Amino acid sequence: NALMFHCKDLSGINGELRPGIVHRIDKDTTGLIMAAKNDKAHASLAAQLKDHSVNRRYLALVHGNISHDQGTIDAPIGRDAQDRKLYTVTDRNSKHAVTHFTVVERFGDYSLLELKLETGRTHQIRVHMKYIGHPLVGDPVYGKSKGIKLNGQALHAAILGFVHPSTGEYMEFSAPMPNDMEELLTILRGR
């Protein structure tokens, strides 16, 4: 609604419910999304997403101490056979999914990660982190509750970079971490 109020000529490619939206994030994930003002820009940005040239970097706090400094999760994602609302790593009716991660900081029982998406599947980071045994802190669907209260899962779309559809110039944007996640990290650093 805010986009529609400020930009009356948004791309209509995604229809009335998602006008202009090229890249979105999960409910209760914070950070950057991508929206296009017209169909030409929408097509250009969508093509960049498809050829994996958009720089999407996330910050996530996960359960557990990840022992290696970086890694890649290359595991197909599809609907969960028992619960069609959920996604899981499966070979059945799935799509290729790749997530790269780097450990930014360790806090004993938790790790702060920077994640880079090579593909963009629904719930990809959340599913992949659960798959390797390090679910997101505060994730009510794929995680586990351990008494930490956040306004959503500890997942933040921090950086978004792409080539401008009209000028051809590379542009990169960043969004600061939300207060509740920042406060949690401060508490963990003080332990």
Q: What is the rounded CA–CA span in Å between residue 158 and residue 26?
A: 14
Beta bridge partners of 2: none
Point out the catalytic residue in the list 26, 28, 39, 80.
26
DSSP three-state, residue 40:
helix
Our CA dihedral for 88, 14, 99, 83, rounded to 10 degrees, sits at -10
Q: Is 26 a catalytic site residue?
A: yes
Report whether 121 contacts 77 (CB < 8 A): yes
Let me know: does 24 contact 157? Beta carbons within 8 Å.
no
Of 132, 63, 68, 141, the closest CA to residue 97 belongs to 132
The residues annotated as belonging to the active site are 26
